[in-house]
Amino acid sequence: MPIPIECESCHRQYKVDDKLAGKKVKCKGCGAPIGVPGTAPGEAEARDCLSCGAPIAPGNRVCTKCGFNMETGQKEMLLLADEADELKEKKKRRWTRQRGMPLLEQLDELLKLLVILGLIGGIVVTVVHIARSPGGFTLSALLPMGVVLAALGGIMAPLAGLAVNITVRTMKLAPRDDTYVRMMACVLLPFVVGMLTGWPEMAERWGFVSALGWLAAVGLLVYFFRAEVMEWVGSLVAAAVALSLSLIVVSLLGGAVNDLAGGLYGDMLPSGPWTGLAKGHSPEPKAPATAAVVTLVATQPVAPAAAPGTEEAPAVPAMAATQMALPAATVPTRPAVAIGPRTMPATAQQPVVVKMTSPYFAGVTDMPGIRDAAGVVVPVVPGDWMLTLKTTDTTAEVDRWSLNPLEKKEHSSYPLLPRKMPQFALSSKGDVMAVLSFFPRRQLDVVAFDSKTPKKTYVLDLPANIPEGATQAVPALVGIVDLAHYYVRWDLNGQSVLQAYGTTTGMAWRAAAIGPGVETCPAAFSPNGHTVAVFGRNQISFFNVDGSTSPKPIVVASDMVVRQLGMAFSSDSTQIGIYATVQDLPTVMVFQVRNGDPVCTALLSQVPLGRNAETMPHALLWLPGAQAWLVNGNDLLDGATGTKFGSLGLSGLAEPQIVGPSTVALTFKGEGSPRTILAKLDDEKIRAAKSK
């Protein structure tokens, strides 16, 4: 049907075909464009909804406002515009966490405040405990608490909080703004309770509270991270996994901190697993000094009668009678401590008189160079050589001495890490020295004194030089036989590994837990240098050095608690003696090495030897010339029967060492510098006393 149109410029009128509807044509008179009314074919005309009157876009047949279908006249179920807007707003709200029940939120804040107040109170109690300890308040005593708090609040809580936040975001949910604070409160709670109630003097009355602290921490973790079921479970699982992994990180860093600090003080922490970060013990207090007289009585050297066909042993020069005043310490009051068959009664404010003479001495050598040594190192087989050790503020000084004649040969020094002294061992012939140092890195040096053999160095932080599974263990030098055989013990959490270096075959031995409170695996070399004896799991195990068959293990006590204090071979390597507490009673047991048959057993005292009682190094020694055992550097026991027949009668002795068949090196430590002497034993007099 034609459509009438009119030019707006010249007012001419036309009729055009309806196919041109919605298009523009050109005026034939003036050429101006003329719009043809109507809708172009294929285009829908905009309409209003017949139901609600809302405009409907061209081409649409359904009203987006009310859902009315213009063709069918029915309303349809559609996603309306309001619902779409609401869905968009809901998606935006997904990353904004809604507040929970106001009462529970207020309870959350109250619990956080209680943990903070408990932490402050625990720090105060810890400081008071440190101040009342024998060593008094020092930064070293305060350091363990700081390390534990840093580990809990600076490592474990952040890692666990991060794991929870990542888990929640993975679920397309908003994490809490205070996740770290909540996690830190849960992690700190057991330690806070421990600082408040976990000290030894509180254990009897409040010990159960420390156990409740762990249960409360678990409950607090479950409560603090409440949410929908999936988010709740995911948060708790993520926290548990992260806390477990963070324990590994803390243990790695804890070992490094212990090495740098020379051993954190374990007694400055309440009972709990965090004591595993501390491997040291606070030093005993320095008591007020009083004048004490140290008397050294000269005796003429009396050489024992030489056996037929043997050379007479050279006499050790006697020292002139000397009396000198030294600063001495008063002993703090403490319970009696049983040492072997003797009981040391508690004393208070009494001067300590150090006695360095004995009726069983044939002579005493006290000379410069040896006198001020802090300790002596002898070979596996005592002979003609020894090392003396001294320390300065920054170095450990080592001197090698020949004993026949007595003369200093070489001197060397090594960096000294505070409270972590290098460890030394001397070969059987005195021609090779092994040094285990800890600063600036842990390494084992093997030095020959022939000026030809190059020094061997093993860096003990390299995996190739550490037994499998002992990466975080603490090394200790056991001894050296020669350039081809030297041994290091690795200790970790009551487990020990003995590692051989230098030998082509190598040897790695793992001992199970040795016993409560014991962190080392004691070892002893046979005088012939063929066997290493190691004590662990209530038995003595043997390992050969030269490849021959090792003796079978010796069971010391199968159903009793045995704590080893000293172990030594007889001079002919056929017997081995062990000085230990059996059910806390001091006992000496001697066995045949070949078949493990018992030789003798001697109960030294009926007075229990407490686990905190101090024991000296080399608490059990075999005296070859006298054929007797020396216990704690004083008590003499018959080698065949184990019967005590005499005592050297020394006081103030810190460490004895056999440096020759009839010569002992004795180090005394009181107030002031250590003092070391060489004493010639009167073997004839000792044997006479034994035969009575």
d(CA 463, CA 469): 10
Q: Which residues of 538-559 are buried (b: 16+ CB within 10 A; e: fewer)?
A: bbbbbbebeeeebbeebebeee
Alpha helices in 262-291 (DSSP H): none
Looking at 121-135, 180-194, 249-263, 630-644, which range is the least confident one? 249-263
Q: Which residue bears the tokens 């799991």? A: 537
- Tokens linked to 678: 């060489």
pLDDT tens digits for 327-349?
Answer: 333 223 223 222 233 333 333 33
pLDDT digits (tens, 9 = 90+) for 17-26: 877 777 888 8
Region of poorest pLDDT, from 217-226, 239-248, 258-267: 258-267
Phi/psi-derived region of residue 555, left when phi > 0, alpha when psi is between -120 and 50, beta in every other case: beta
Structural class in CATH, domain 289-691: mainly beta
Distance CA(207)–CA(85), nearest Å, equals 60
Q: What is the rounded CA–CA span in Å between residue 444 and residue 441?
A: 10
Is the Cβ–Cβ distance between 672 and 659 less than 8 Å? no
Q: pLDDT, tens digit, for every residue of 392-419?
A: 878 889 999 998 888 999 999 888 776 6
Residue ranges per structural domain of the chain: 3-81, 102-277, 289-691
The pLDDT of residue 532 is 83
CA distance 63 to 41: 23
Segment 346-359, tens digit of pLDDT: 333 344 456 788 99
Q: How far is C-alpha 495 from the geometric centre of its chain's CA atoms?
A: 12
Q: Cα–Cα distances in Å, from 135 out to 48, 132, 285?
A: 94, 8, 5
Is residue 529 a contact partner of residue 380, using CB atoms and an 8 Å limit? yes
Angle subtended at Cα 59 by Cα 58 and Cα 61, rounded to the nearest 5 degrees: 105
Average pLDDT estimate for 1-5? 80
Rounded distance between C-alpha atoms, residue 324 and residue 412, angstroms: 31
Q: From 281, 283, 238, 261, select the one nearest 136 (Cα to Cα).
A: 283
- The length of the chain is 692
Residue pLDDT, tens place only, 514-547: 333 344 456 788 888 788 888 877 888 887 766 5
* Cα 630 to Cα 364, 473, 535, 593, 619, distances in angstroms: 18, 33, 19, 19, 8
Q: What is the C-alpha to C-alpha distance for residues 682 and 278, in angstroms, rounded to an integer?
A: 45
Structure tokens at 521: 């695996």
- For the cut 90, the answer to whether the pLDDT of residue 579 exceeds it is yes
